[in-house]
Structure 1
Amino acid sequence: MSGETMLEAALPSPPLLRRVPSPAAGGGRARILAALVLTLLAPLPARAEIEPGDLTLTVTAEFNGNSAPFAREMVLLKIRGVYKQPILLEEVVQPSLANFSWTQLGRDHWSKTKLPDGQSAIAFDRTVAVFPHHAGDFVIEPFTHKLTVNDVGERRVVEVRSKPIPFPVAAWTAVTGGPDVKEPWWLPAGDVAVTDSWSPDPETVKLGETTRRIVTLEVQGMVAEGLPPRPVMRTRGILTFAGPVTRETLLTPSGPVARATYQWDVKPGVPEVIPLDAIAIPWFDTNTRTMREAEIPARQIGGGLPDREGDRAPPPVPSPLVAAAAALAAFGLGLALIGYGTGRPRLRLSAATRRSLHRAARAGDPAGFRAALEAARREVPALARIWRTRPDLAAPLAALDRAVFGTAGAPAPDLPALARALSRPEFIAALPGPERLAPLDGPAR
């Protein structure tokens, strides 16, 4: 109801004025005039006017590294409304986003908030992940929030619109990679994790047997449709049967997480040891704006038992005669080897730890190499003590620490050479044994 309508309702109608008593009433006429003046001067009924700033809707694009994104790179749109008026009904009208793929991350969130002047308000939050299709200068058109508010007992529909947002998408200018190149696959992400599992262990598989390999690729900031196809695993001497590929997208407040699972059944076709090379997965780090590389690790099929003690079958119990003969043979062999020094015990890192060192060395990742080295030190502390006494290892290990923990730009050592040196077995003079007791007739000679 407008102010003019309210004012007309407050004024007496002409028929009512014609029914006022005659002037002979004297004091009665004065009372009627006074009542009419009070009616005209009385305040109008209170009305909650919607003022500028009472209903606001903003959309913010969060560009990774404050840089223009590349095609197919995720950008989060943060949509926030702040409303002083009580909301009865609401509906968000989203622009077409013709040049983008998009997905909403979770449900809308409503909460109470305080304005800078201390007034209470209602906050509305929605997050949308968008993926531009190609390079160019685009504009995110306004979002519209249709609100039904209570205006002095009457429902009123108000449309609150955000401002348009400039959205530039950069063109890839590097020599290799990029969104428009099919090989290698373009994978922009906040992080990439690779999990590789075999059942049974490939090193225990013999000719004619089968092992199953399952590789899980988990990518932050990507939907499942954007993950690369199944990697090609092909080498001489094996038969490979590709299994199904499963893909899923997990929605989190910080963005979608895409997960793909690839599966193969592998059967050796020759009795020799068959090496499987590592499979590189290049990806673009959206945080540092650089190309990086994840890796499906190299393995071998056949060639021995795994390093894990739990995977080994218990040895058969020999008969007493066989055990006695073996003991005599071992005793004689030990006597024969004492003079030549070939019976010295040795220490060596496990195959899994050696693979971690070589993988970090090939990737040129000093921090990853240092983390694998720390795990190696915890695994075999005696090896770490030996390394510290070797002059040829002291200098590269110190250079590695300076590259990881020192000032930026410190050169890293030759990581492949260092990985090879640390992977070699170390011979020790003798294993510590029990302390000898002095004879009864005096100190030991």
Structure 2
Amino acid sequence: MVIRLALLVLLLAFPARAQDSLRLILPDTRPVAGEMIPVTIRGEYTGAITLESMTFPGSESYDWVQYAPDHWAEERINGLPRRVFERRVAVFAKGPGSLTIGPVTHRLTKATPAGREDVPVTAPPVTIAVDPYPGGGRPLVTPQLTITDELSADPAFLNEGETFVRRVTLSAEGTMAQFLPQRPGLDENWLISFAAPEIRETRLTQRGPLAVAVWEWHLRLRGEPGTLVPLQFPFFNTIARKMWSAVTLPLEVGATGAAGDTTAPQAGTGTLALALLAGGGLLGAGLLLSDRRPAGGRVRSLLRRLCPNPHRAALQAAAQAGELAALRRAARAYADHERAAGRAVDEAALARLDRAMFGPPGTAQDFDAAGVVAALTRQDGHRPS
């Protein structure tokens, strides 16, 4: 009886199977459909593991991708040595409702005194509530959507029949390439467009997947000049927890270089334009006669001071759209023009914009875009519209 009691105590004290555990760890959040749900699969094992395999279960309810290599480490848990396994997976719910992930089984092969032993360890399923995507169309959910708009030449100086290349790169953290929007169209009657094959890929980083789409067009002016309207991409901002929009700047094509520009001027601007041209011409002639040095730079500087900043409209459009990247590009272009015109620039406003753009997560939540625009445009003599 004493021997049996001792054996029972030993079995209760060292339950080999109970010491192996596997679980799914989810963040304590309420995601929207399409938002990255970081899942950590953590196993705590005993014994010598010689082989292992695990397959993450697929589902019609979600997409998933493993974004980091498996990690093994030796740890002490409750004072006892354990072999710890971690795998990081990003899960994206396809729709709202109750989402169940798992179960997941890790099949281990252990070396024992009696030989090899197969030990399956299973993590029970977990459930998380998913809210509907608040926007329309394909869900795009990310903390940061970045647009890079590259041009092979300044399209404003394009003449009829000449070609330039436009390359737009869209990148979004914490999502997959399939969630990025489709290629926008650049169909205009006054423009011939040749689209290169799309590049669309998901890159894996330590913070999660990074979705990238690259669109390239070869554009040729046909007929009179025109304006390519800003490209706009709505997305759900996971930091602000609301819909935002990323926008590009408008592109004037052939506005300066093309001959025969028949674009009608806005009402009330014709007289001002003639006065500026006449004044600039007379002033330039006077400077040339009164000074033996080239006066072209001084004339251009004076004309910049007389003319309104051409980047104001893009600055205001980016602020209204709530897209920090586009706002920063427009603000930098606006500030460069102001400095060239000899006007003061509110550097503090630019610094606030940089802090919101590059500061720690959550910095942009209280950012006042309209206040920055008002501060920057205060010196140019034109109130924000």
TM-score (norm 2): 0.71
Residue identity (%): 28
Tell me the secondary structure at the aligned position of residue 175 of structure 2. coil
2:91 and 2:121 map into 1 onto residues whose CA distance is: 22
Question: Residue in 1 aligned with 2:217?
Answer: 264
Q: 2:139 aligns with which of 186, 189, 210?
A: 186
Question: Residue in 1 aligned with 2:247?
Answer: 295
Q: Can you list the C-alpha shifts for 1:136-161, whole angstroms capped at 9, x where unaligned?
A: 22322321112222333422222211
2:325 and 2:56 map into 1 onto residues whose CA distance is: 44
1:234 CA displacement: 3.3
Indicate how the Cα distance of structure 1 residues 252 and 278 shifts in structure 2: closer, same or farther if over 3 A, else same. same
- Number of residue-to-residue matches in the alignment: 334
Q: Can you list the C-alpha shifts for 1:224-246, whole angstroms capped at 9, x where unaligned?
A: 12211111223452222222211
* 1:57 is aligned to 2:22: yes
1:87 CA displacement: 0.8
Q: 1:360 aligns with which of 318, 321, 339?
A: 318
1:256 CA displacement: 1.0
* 1:284 is aligned to 2:242: no
Q: Which runs of 5+ in 1 are unaligned?
A: 8-47, 306-326, 336-341, 389-393, 426-445
* 1:242 is aligned to 2:195: yes
Question: Residue in 2 aligned with 1:251?
Answer: 204
CA RMSD in angstroms comes to: 4.4
Tell me the secondary structure at the aligned position of residue 289 of structure 2. helix
1:384 and 1:333 map into 2 onto residues whose CA distance is: 23
Structure 2 letter corresponding to 1:244: P
Indicate how the Cα distance of structure 1 residues 122 and 379 shifts in structure 2: closer, same or farther if over 3 A, else same. farther
Contact 1:76–1:130 (8 Å) recurs in 2: yes
Contact 2:195–2:217 (8 Å) recurs in 1: yes
Question: Residue in 2 aligned with 1:431?
Answer: none
Contact 1:62–1:78 (8 Å) recurs in 2: no
Q: 1:169 aligns with which of 82, 106, 130?
A: 130
Contact 2:229–2:250 (8 Å) recurs in 1: yes
Indicate how the Cα distance of structure 1 residues 397 and 192 shifts in structure 2: closer, same or farther if over 3 A, else same. closer
Q: 2:71 aligns with which of 109, 113, 134?
A: 109
* 1:332 is aligned to 2:293: no
Q: Which runs of 5+ in 2 are unaligned?
A: 5-12, 258-283, 293-298
Structure 2 letter corresponding to 1:123: V
Q: Can you list the C-alpha shifts for 1:328-383, whole angstroms capped at 9, x where unaligned?
A: 99642769xxxxxx998466699897576345333356898689657866886687
Contact 2:246–2:326 (8 Å) recurs in 1: no
Structure 2 letter corresponding to 1:275: T
1:419 CA displacement: 5.7
Contact 2:107–2:118 (8 Å) recurs in 1: yes
**Higher radius of gyration, 1 or 2:** 1
Contact 1:377–1:384 (8 Å) recurs in 2: no
Tell me the secondary structure at the aligned position of residue 267 of structure 1. strand
Indicate how the Cα distance of structure 1 residues 246 and 373 shifts in structure 2: closer, same or farther if over 3 A, else same. closer
Contact 2:36–2:92 (8 Å) recurs in 1: yes
Contact 1:93–1:143 (8 Å) recurs in 2: yes
Question: Residue in 1 aligned with 2:265?
Answer: none
1:210 CA displacement: 0.9
TM-score (norm 1): 0.62
2:181 and 2:327 map into 1 onto residues whose CA distance is: 27
Structure 2 letter corresponding to 1:54: Q
Higher relative contact order (CA 8 A, sep 6+): 2
Structure 1 letter corresponding to 2:185: V
1:127 CA displacement: 1.2
2:162 and 2:367 map into 1 onto residues whose CA distance is: 49
2:156 and 2:25 map into 1 onto residues whose CA distance is: 53
1:267 CA displacement: 1.3
Structure 2 letter corresponding to 1:299: L
Indicate how the Cα distance of structure 1 residues 61 and 330 shifts in structure 2: closer, same or farther if over 3 A, else same. same
1:93 and 1:364 map into 2 onto residues whose CA distance is: 41
2:168 and 2:326 map into 1 onto residues whose CA distance is: 21
Contact 2:44–2:85 (8 Å) recurs in 1: yes
* 1:231 is aligned to 2:197: no
1:245 and 1:377 map into 2 onto residues whose CA distance is: 34
Question: Residue in 1 aligned with 2:47?
Answer: 85
